[in-house]
Structure 1
Amino acid sequence: MKKSPEPATRGRPRGFDRDEALSSALTVFWTKGYGDASMADLTAAMGVNAPSLYAAFGSKEDLFREAVRLYTDREGALLWRSMGEAPTAREAVEGLLLATAAVSGQCGRPQGCLLTLSGVNPDALPDTACSEVKQVREDSMAAMADRLRAARTAGELGPTADPAAMAAFYLTVQQGMTFRAREGATPEELTATARAAMLAWDGLAGIA
């Protein structure tokens, strides 16, 4: 007797690719924001119906939280590579700013930073999602400050340098660059901003 084919997973279409669907959802959230991303927007981009979305990801909030983690893993690794690989703290910070400028010109990529844009209107996010976004931003600040503390210990920065203040300054610049990218600033304009910010390095580092 010929065996019948196995039925598709309940609530999901045949050929459903969860990773691809999550990537599509990320693009929607990144482009429209959590509050303005409707279920119709999400299901259309992901190629699934609402029951399939709920079966695979739970709620809209759960989907957003997974999208944030994907964004952090994918985009964060790209932008923050210099923080772990650059031989000096100055090159690490400059590399982050220049990478931020460079990605703003990539075709087919939403402009701006999902985390920064989400933080502008925290009331649009459920509490748990809002806390996760805030934690990622705080972790980024801590990571840069730690890199700068290590640089001060190694003698790259002067003894009067304040790693936390330097991290706050350069991440404020970086986040501002993402807003300008959202508004249409070119990679060349953002690169000029990055170069200008680095002119403050010696003074902030206590080596002027």
Structure 2
Amino acid sequence: METRKSGPIGRPRGFDADEALERAMLVFWEHGYEGASLATLTNAMGISTTSMYAAFGNKEELFRKALERYTEGPSAYLPRALEEPTAHGVAAAILTGAIRTTTRPAQPNGCLGVQGALTASDSGREVRDLLITWRDNSYSCVRERFQRAVDDGELPPETDPGLLARYVTTLAFGIAVQAASGVPRDELQGMADAALRNWPLP
């Protein structure tokens, strides 16, 4: 329960905004954008609807902040993976990171950025478009990294970095969908290992 203190009506007081945002992220992660009602969100966050609006804006703005938190937290394996010294290492780290993040027992299964708004009504269209952009950005970062690998001679010159990046990111997003369906971690890892056996060599 939030503690009310003196101040302008609706001004968020007496709660940890960082913790509240973490809880909102978990609700969106588990239920998706449209499946997360305001009542479910505010109950999980431990604040009133008035305080939620004052601290985070409307539901869409709250989702945007939750997605930023997800990107910097559970999904932070991607920028770390891009720093691997080889393209194969990048791909392996992306897939392993996806498996680890989407199957962690203490968190919802799946990926907030994949399942947050795969289907959405007109009212959720902006969130759906936001997540399309989020996924496209991941793809673009991987493509640029693989282009460097081609330029450096690590990947064969005939390699299409865009196609290879699409292959790896599609696998990662597919892992998230399978994880949300209850496919166990060891089976997902076996699939990832199999997918990388025919990696292009210079």
- The two structures have a TM-score, normalised by structure 1, of 0.88
Q: Is the 8 A contact 1:83 1:144 kept in 2?
A: yes
Q: Is the 8 A contact 2:20 2:45 kept in 1?
A: yes
SS in 2 for 1:76: coil
Shift in alpha-carbon separation, 1:130–1:104, aligned structure 2, 3 A: closer
Greater CA drift, 27-36 or 132-141? 132-141
Deviation per CA, 1:63-110, whole angstroms, max 9, x where unpaired? 1111111111112213441212x1111101111101222234422111
Q: Give 2:176's aligned residue.
A: 178
Q: Is the 8 A contact 2:78 2:94 kept in 1?
A: yes
- RMSD between aligned alpha carbons? 1.8
Structure 1 or 2, whichever has the larger Rg, is 1
Q: Give 2:121's aligned residue.
A: 123
Q: Give 2:90's aligned residue.
A: 92
Matches within 5 A, 1:5-20: 7=6, 10-11=9-10, 14-20=13-19
**1:200 maps to 2:170:** no
Whole-angstrom distance in 2 between the partners of 1:145 and 1:125: 32
Matches within 5 A, 1:46-85: 46-84=45-83
Aligned match of 1:111 in 101, 109, 112?
109
Whole-angstrom distance in 1 between the partners of 2:192 and 2:123: 31
Once the two structures are TM-superposed, the CA of residue 10 in structure 1 deviates from its matched residue by 3.5
Deviation per CA, 1:122-181, whole angstroms, max 9, x where unpaired? 436634323322211111111000000000011011111000000011111111111111
- Determine what percentage of the aligned residue pairs are the same residue: 36
Aligned match of 1:138 in 120, 131, 136?
136
- Structure 1 counterpart of 2:69, one-letter code: L
Q: Is the 8 A contact 1:88 1:151 kept in 2?
A: yes
Q: Is the 8 A contact 1:104 1:186 kept in 2?
A: no
- Structure 2 counterpart of 1:101, one-letter code: I
Once the two structures are TM-superposed, the CA of residue 59 in structure 1 deviates from its matched residue by 0.7
Unmatched runs of 5 consecutive residues or more in structure 1: 1-5
Q: Is the 8 A contact 2:10 2:51 kept in 1?
A: yes
Greater CA drift, 88-97 or 100-109? 100-109
Q: Is the 8 A contact 2:81 2:91 kept in 1?
A: yes
Q: Is the 8 A contact 1:105 1:186 kept in 2?
A: yes
Once the two structures are TM-superposed, the CA of residue 14 in structure 1 deviates from its matched residue by 4.7
Whole-angstrom distance in 2 between the partners of 1:170 and 1:126: 28
- The two structures have a TM-score, normalised by structure 2, of 0.90
